[in-house]
Amino acid sequence: MIAFNHVTKSFSEDNIAVKDVNLTVEKGHIVVLLGPSGCGKTTLLRMVNRLESISNGEIMINNKNSMELDAIELRRNIGYVIQSNGLFPNMTIEDNVMIVPDLLGWSKQKKRERFTYLMKLIGLDAQDYRKRYPHELSGGQQQRIGVIRALAADPPVMLMDEPFGALDPIIREKIQDEFLQIQREVKKTILFVSHDIDEAIKMADKIVLMRDGEIMQYDTPSEMLAHPKNEYVSKFFGKDRALKSLSLHTVKNLQDIIGLAPIDATIRDTKTIHVHQDLRTTLSMLMNQEADQVVVTNDQDENIGSITIDHVQKYLHFEIKGELSVSQEG
C-alpha cells in the first residue's frame, strides 16, 4: 500500500509541480495517474522512490514513512519502469533483467531460474535471448524486457512511467493485455503514469486525474466516466465518454442484463465475437458492418446467441443513466 499525505513538491517558489496530494493506493491495485503534459505525474511518481525529494508532507509505503527508510534499500524493493525502457546497452538481456537480484546478491542458479520464469511470462525464449544485447531487440521486446526487469526481484510495489508510451497502437494493446494477465498472477501494487485516456480506462482499478499538480478526481474508471466531479473532468474525457465507458463492459455483462438475440441460421455472412470481448470493440465491429450478423461464442467455442447495435444502445442507455451498476470486471 502506498499513501500520500499532503504531499507537495516545489522546484522553486513559482514552480510547484505537485500540490497537497492525498491519495491511497490499495494493495494489489493498479492506480493510473492521468493528465495533460506537465501536470506533475512523473514528479509524483518519482517522489515515491525518492528520485525527487518531497518538499512537504509524507509518503507511506506499507505503513512506513519513505523518508525514514534507506533510499537504496527502498529502491531495490520498488520495481521501476521508465518510458524509454532505460535498458543498459552494455549489458546482455539477462544481465539487464537480473540487475536488482544481482545487487541483492542472489546466487547464479536462482538468477537463472528467475530469468527463465520471467521470460516465459512475456513469451520470449530465455535461451534464445539470454546473451543478446538490447539493440538486437524490437521496440516492443525492449519494452517487455523493461517490465520484467522491474519485476525481477519480485518487489511488492511497482512504479511505471508511461511504460508502453513509445509503441504503435497494435503492439501497445497486446502488451497491455499481456501485462494485465501478468498482474492477475503477481498482484503488485502499481502506480502507472499515462496520458492516454483509453490506456487509463483499460489498465486502472482507479484513475487519478490531475491538473497543474492537483488531483481533480480519484475514482474507478466507470465512476469517473459516469459521474465526473467537475467540468474539467468531463471535458477531459470528452463528449464520447459514454462510448469510452463501453470498453469497461463485456458482452457477458450485456448478456446478463438484457440477454442476446437468437442466431438466424439463414444469414451466411456472419462473424464471431468472444463473450469476454469488450463492448467498445463489439460496437465498432457492428458499426463497420463487417458482417450481416455477429455471433457470440463462449469459452467452449460454442455459439450462444447474436448481438446487434440495438442491444448495445439499450445497454448504453441503461448504463449511462446509472440504472445499472455493473462491476468493472466481466
Partner 1 sequence: MGIYYLSMQVLEGGFTLEEWLRFLEVNTPRILELTLDHAVLVTIAIVVALIIGVPMGIYLTTNEYLAGTILQAASITLTIPSIALFGLMIPIFSLINQGIGFLPAFVALVLYSQLPIIRNTYTAIKNVDPNMRDAAIGMGMKTHQRLLRVEIPNALPVIMAGIRTAVVLNIGIGVIAAYIGAGGLGVLITQGISRGDNYLIISGSLAVALLAIVADAILLLIQKRFTTKEIVN
Ligand X SMILES: Nc1ncnc2c1ncn2[C@@H]1O[C@H](COP(=O)(O)OP(=O)(O)OP(=O)(O)O)[C@@H](O)[C@H]1O
Residues that bind partner 1 (CB under 8 A): 49, 51, 72-76, 80, 82-84, 86-91, 99-100, 103, 133-135, 149, 159
By beta-carbon proximity to partner 1, the closer residue of 103 and 309 is 103
Q: Which of 11, 21, 24, 10 shows the shortest CA–CA distance to 191? A: 24
38 binds ligand X (CB under 6 A): yes
Q: Which of 146, 188, 151 shows the shortest CA–CA distance to 163? A: 146
Angle at 81 between CA 73 and CA 55, to 5 degrees: 60
By beta-carbon proximity to Mg ion, the closer residue of 42 and 306 is 42
> What does 11 interact with, of Mg ion, partner 1, ligand X, none (CB < 5 to 8 A by kind)?
ligand X
> What does 109 interact with, of partner 1, ligand X, Mg ion, none (CB < 5 to 8 A by kind)?
none
Q: Which of 11, 180, 267, 327 binds ligand X (CB under 6 A)?
A: 11
> What does 15 interact with, of ligand X, Mg ion, partner 1, none (CB < 5 to 8 A by kind)?
ligand X
Three cell numbers, residue 112: 537463472
Q: Residues 72, 74, 76, 82: is their CA dihedral positive or negative? A: negative
For the CA atoms of the chain, what is the radius of gyration? Answer: 22
Segment near ligand X (CB under 6 A), from 40-48, 96-104, 171-179, 225-233? 40-48
Contacts to ligand X from residues 169-198, by CB under 6 A:
195
Contacts to ligand X from residues 13-32, by CB under 6 A:
15, 17
By beta-carbon proximity to partner 1, the closer residue of 38 and 238 is 38
By beta-carbon proximity to partner 1, the closer residue of 99 and 243 is 99
Three cell numbers, residue 35: 493528465
50 binds ligand X (CB under 6 A): no
37 binds ligand X (CB under 6 A): yes
Per-residue binding string, Mg ion, 32-51, x by CB under 5 A, is ----------x---------
By beta-carbon proximity to partner 1, the closer residue of 80 and 236 is 80
Least distance (Å) from partner 1 to the CB of residue 161? 10
**Interface with ligand X (CB under 6 A):** 11, 15, 17, 35, 37-43, 195
Positions in the binding site for Mg ion (CB under 5 A) = 42
